Amino acid sequence: MYMLRYLLLFVLLMSGLSAYGQSHLSRVIEDFDAGWRFIQDDDLEDGHEIDLDDSEWRLLNLPHDWSIEGPIDRDNPTGRGGAYMPCGIGWYRKEFTIPAEAQGRKIFIDFDGVMANSKVWLNGQLLGERPFGYIGFRYDMTDKLNYGGKNIIAVVTDTYDQPASRWYTGAGIYRHVRLVMTDKIHFDNWGIFITTPEVTEVTGKVKIENTLVNETDKVAEVVIKTAISLVVEPDKLVMELQSNGSIPAGGSELMTQEGFIKNPALWSIDNPNLYLATSMILIDGLIVDTQTNIFGVRSFEFKADSGFWLNGENIKIKGVCLHHDGGAVGAAVPKRVWQRRFEKLREIGCNAIRTSHNPMSPEFLDLCDEMGFVVMDEVLDTWRARKNNADYGYQHHFNKWWYADNRDTVLRDRNHPSIILYSAGNEIRDDLSSPAGFATFKGIYDLFKKYDPTRPVTQGVFRPNQSKVYDSGYAELMDVVGQNYREEELVAAYKARPSRKVIGTENGHGRDAWLVLRDNPFMAGQFLWTGIDYLGEADWPDISWSNACIDRIGNIRPMGYQRMSWWSDKPMVSIARKEVASGGAGSSIKGGETVSHWTPRDYDTYDQATVEVYSNCETVELFINDKSLGEKAMPQDASPVSWDLAYTQGVLKAVGKNGGTPAAQYESRSAEYPVAINMVTDRKQIAHDFDDVSHVEISFVDANGVECPWAEKPLKFEVTGPGRIVAVDNGDPTYHDSFQGNKCRTYQGRCLVIIAATADEGKIILKASTRGMDSASVKIEVAN
């Protein structure tokens, strides 16, 4: 949606707006990602000086996370929280020109996220600073520019003091940057707020609050026009609004528009329809500013007795918590990386995401809108009290920056239809039941309501029976009471006061936790910790959390398939086998890791198998080499069914049945010795765009084409044509090699290569090779 927003704006400016009046020097948005110089130097102090020679600095394009480049080292100060990645001070510089004709206009620079403790200078003059690395910010460059001549912008990022976070943050200008040029009369930044206060299937009321800024010395008489269409049909208007008003000299004005869309296409989880609002300011018939916003028409509410309702439908929130890294790409995550991950989450039945524990990128939330995930939008992990492994964390900035960081998150995010909750914090260690705790929450709560009164507010409360939040009255401050883990405590809190609306804000993967949600109508939902493995919060030799439904490279674990059996509405069945450790020659013991295949590590010692079958069907029948091992009914308590059987090579198959009729099937074949490399790409065509990449999954197969899950061999990669390797990974929690090299060893039989384009057209060929086998390759077309 990042590129879509500005493409739609360009198309409308070039074609559709002529119907509303003659275009003046309207808003211009320029991608500012390309052509930056970078150096990592802890001792450099004058990187902002105009005359500094940066010719030896590295030339690169943004977004850029320099920490993910490594090396991974146990002695790196980031420690367990930072995945043992490097930290320090990074400098970025860029030379650019602004035409002389632009003088008299307003010119801003927008950063979507800089990690961390950033300072920005223009031509040697400080524009500002921002310690918090997760929220975007804007600086006004108008009065400091050299029009028609050379300009130097410099940015310093500082992650030197460690440990600063409980999870991997990345380092650098890791999100997009833009230049924005407007008239002196313009919409304020994040100044258009669109809500749908009344929604039915036959009509949807749309309310648009426009904040306009007048930076001239005269009162401005303006006309506001808004054109609304479906995103998929931008040239077919469904509603037009017009308002007249005045903006005081040197001031701002809020102008509200309201209208109704007939038979609206509602935004929902299954059908996430989106609308495009193109807003224009006209003076004497000339368009002086234009802005586009994406929104959805939908209604939602939380009820104490029945949980969450969306467009009049009672829905269980089946959510996961996600951190902001994309695995091997670090914090600079292409949109397609998130899209592929969301596809995997949707496959297991997930319909909700908690942004743990900070604002995500704009593209992340765009995808939630586009793909139909509801969102708990969380801002902070810390107030004033420190947390373990975060000695230099946000607690040092809270008093000065809490208001700006929460405010800007709400202003930036409030038009996203996916967002249904704001969170005031995660497992806050401050004394919540004290007067200071009450006052802090109330301050954040009131801020949320000031800038967006349409969303309820919650919090991921930590050990509430110890903090006494259910007894002190603190829980009643929340619109929806949120609690992490200890699900039975939350049930008891509800039963003690049934007027409470409740939700599990962080939950384990166990069956008991799921049954609390499934069997209690008042429970609105849960968010698993976590949906996908993330970097950090792991003790050496591990570098990543590894107890998620999906691993770093996108493989669904057995626990993910079990979750699918609980969450998915589609008939499914899956097999999980207990891999058995050798107990001596010719013997074995039950236990060990659980895997989703029928290939033991050692055929000679593996003689007895324990198999679990996950399914949402009524019954399951198990077969070995087409011989039935019996049919069993799936238990009502969400347990799997299991079989103990003598191990036999061949095909293990499970068939799920409803009403005696097969509805789903899963089979796994035992593999022989690996003889070939197998490569599969998720995209055979990509664009020359940071946010578009192709994921190439690589494995070894035997002579029958069966994947060999225990083949762990080194692979070397070579790219020809207009492409580059963005990252390599194998999902191993103990992976210590470079994520950005051209080599990777398979782990549990697999590895992943992420490819990006380096030109607008051509053919990329990725070749993989290893000793003793023929090389293999895939082709990826580049076309914009």
Between CA 112 and CA 173 the distance in angstroms is 9
Please choose, from the candidates 676, 654, 657, the residue with its C-alpha nearest in 3D space to the C-alpha of residue 665. 654
Between CA 212 and CA 186 the distance in angstroms is 6
Chain centroid to CA 197? 27
If you average pLDDT over residues 207-213, what whole number do you get? Answer: 98
Reported in sequence order, the residue ranges of 263-330 that DSSP labels E, i.e. its strands, are 275-283, 286-295, 300-303, 307-310, 313-315, 317-322
Spatial strand order of the sheet with 594-595 comes to 594-595, 573-578, 608-615, 641-646
Please choose, from the candidates 715, 710, 709, the residue with its C-alpha nearest in 3D space to the C-alpha of residue 677. 715
Are residues 623 and 536 in contact, defined by beta-carbon separation less than 8 angstroms? Answer: no
Residue 341 has pLDDT above 50, yes or no: yes
Q: How confident is the model at residue 593 (pLDDT cuts 50, 70, 90)?
A: confident
| Beta bridge mates, 375 | 353, 419
pLDDT confidence of residue 579: 85
Q: Residue 360 gets which letter from DSSP?
A: -
Q: How confident is the model at residue 25 (pLDDT cuts 50, 70, 90)?
A: low
Helix (H, G, I), strand (E, B) or coil at 606: coil
Q: Tokens 């397609």 belong to which residue?
A: 336
Please choose, from the candidates 135, 84, 184, the residue with its C-alpha nearest in 3D space to the C-alpha of residue 737. 84
Say which residues have a Cβ less than 8 Å from residue 499's Cβ, sequence separation at least 6.
Answer: 304
Residue 8 has pLDDT above 80, yes or no: no
C-alpha angle 59-60-62 in degrees, rounded to nearest 5 = 150
Q: How confident is the model at residue 406 (pLDDT cuts 50, 70, 90)?
A: very high
Between CA 709 and CA 455 the distance in angstroms is 46
Say which residues have a Cβ less than 8 Å from residue 584's Cβ, sequence separation at least 6.
Answer: none
Burial profile 507-545: b = 16 or more Cβ within 10 angstroms, e = fewer: bbbeeebbebbbebebbbbbbbbbbbbbbbbbeeebbbb
Please choose, from the candidates 574, 579, 554, 553, the residue with its C-alpha nearest in 3D space to the C-alpha of residue 564. 574
Q: Tell me: cis bond preceding 530? Omega within 30 of 0 counts.
A: yes
Handedness of CA 326, 329, 335, 339 (dihedral sign): negative
How many C-beta atoms surround the C-beta of residue 272 within 10 A? 19
pLDDT confidence of residue 592: 58
Report the interhelical angle of 511-519 vs 487-496 (nearest 10°).
30
pLDDT tens-digit readout, 602-640: 988 999 999 999 999 999 999 999 999 999 999 999 999
pLDDT confidence of residue 12: 39
pLDDT confidence of residue 126: 98
Q: Tokens 């950090």 belong to which residue?
A: 536
Are residues 429 and 385 in contact, defined by beta-carbon separation less than 8 angstroms? Answer: yes
pLDDT tens-digit readout, 414-460: 999 999 999 999 999 999 999 999 999 999 999 999 999 999 999 99
Please choose, from the candidates 744, 741, 742, 734, the residue with its C-alpha nearest in 3D space to the C-alpha of residue 713. 744
Chain centroid to CA 193? 23
φ and ψ at residue 495, rounded to 5 degrees: -65, -30
If you average pLDDT over residues 328-352, what whole number do you get? Answer: 98
If you average pLDDT over residues 554-571, what whole number do you get? Answer: 97
Residue 587, CA distances (Å) to 590, 594, 602 in order: 10, 19, 11
If you average pLDDT over residues 64-75, what whole number do you get? Answer: 98
pLDDT tens-digit readout, 254-304: 999 999 999 999 999 999 999 999 999 999 999 999 999 999 999 999 999
Please choose, from the candidates 770, 758, 684, the residue with its C-alpha nearest in 3D space to the C-alpha of residue 721. 758
Rg (alpha carbons) of the chain, rounded to whole number: 28
Higher pLDDT, residue 465 or 150: 150
| Beta bridge mates, 662 | 657
Between CA 562 and CA 666 the distance in angstroms is 13
pLDDT confidence of residue 26: 85
Between CA 553 and CA 732 the distance in angstroms is 9
φ and ψ at residue 736, rounded to 5 degrees: -125, 5
Say which residues have a Cβ less than 8 Å from residue 769's Cβ, sequence separation at least 6.
Answer: 677, 715, 716, 718, 775, 776
If you average pLDDT over residues 583-606, what whole number do you get? Answer: 68
If you average pLDDT over residues 37-53, what whole number do you get? Answer: 97
Residue 54, CA distances (Å) to 91, 145, 156, 358, 461 in order: 10, 20, 14, 34, 48
pLDDT confidence of residue 465: 87
If you average pLDDT over residues 195-223, what whole number do you get? Answer: 97
Are residues 180 and 186 in contact, defined by beta-carbon separation less than 8 angstroms? Answer: no
Residue 581 has pLDDT above 60, yes or no: no
Q: How confident is the model at residue 41 (pLDDT cuts 50, 70, 90)?
A: very high
Q: How confident is the model at residue 580 (pLDDT cuts 50, 70, 90)?
A: low
Q: Residue 297 gets which letter from DSSP?
A: B
Between CA 682 and CA 340 the distance in angstroms is 9
Return the H-helix or E-strand segment holding 209: strand 203-214
If you average pLDDT over residues 471-495, what whole number do you get? Answer: 97
Between CA 355 and CA 379 the distance in angstroms is 8
pLDDT confidence of residue 9: 41
Rounded to a whole number of angstroms, the distance between the first and last alpha carbons of the chain is: 16
Between CA 734 and CA 745 the distance in angstroms is 12
Residue 173, CA distances (Å) to 116, 127, 732, 773 in order: 9, 16, 27, 41
Between CA 22 and CA 200 the distance in angstroms is 37
pLDDT tens-digit readout, 99-118: 999 999 999 999 999 999 99
pLDDT confidence of residue 236: 94
Residue 75 has pLDDT above 90, yes or no: yes
Q: What is the pTM of this model?
A: 0.95
Between CA 657 and CA 619 the distance in angstroms is 5
Q: How confident is the model at residue 14 (pLDDT cuts 50, 70, 90)?
A: very low
Which of 29-43, 225-239, 593-607, 610-624 comes out lowest in average pLDDT?
593-607
Q: Residue 284 gets which letter from DSSP?
A: T
Return the H-helix or E-strand segment holding 444: helix 435-451
For 51: left if phi > 0, alpha if psi spans -120 to 50, otherwise beta; the answer is alpha
Residue 86 has pLDDT above 70, yes or no: yes
- Listing DSSP states for 669-703 in one string gives E------EEEEEES-SEE-SSTT--EEEEEEEE-T
For the chain, the maximum distance between any two Cα atoms, rounded to a whole number of angstroms, is: 92
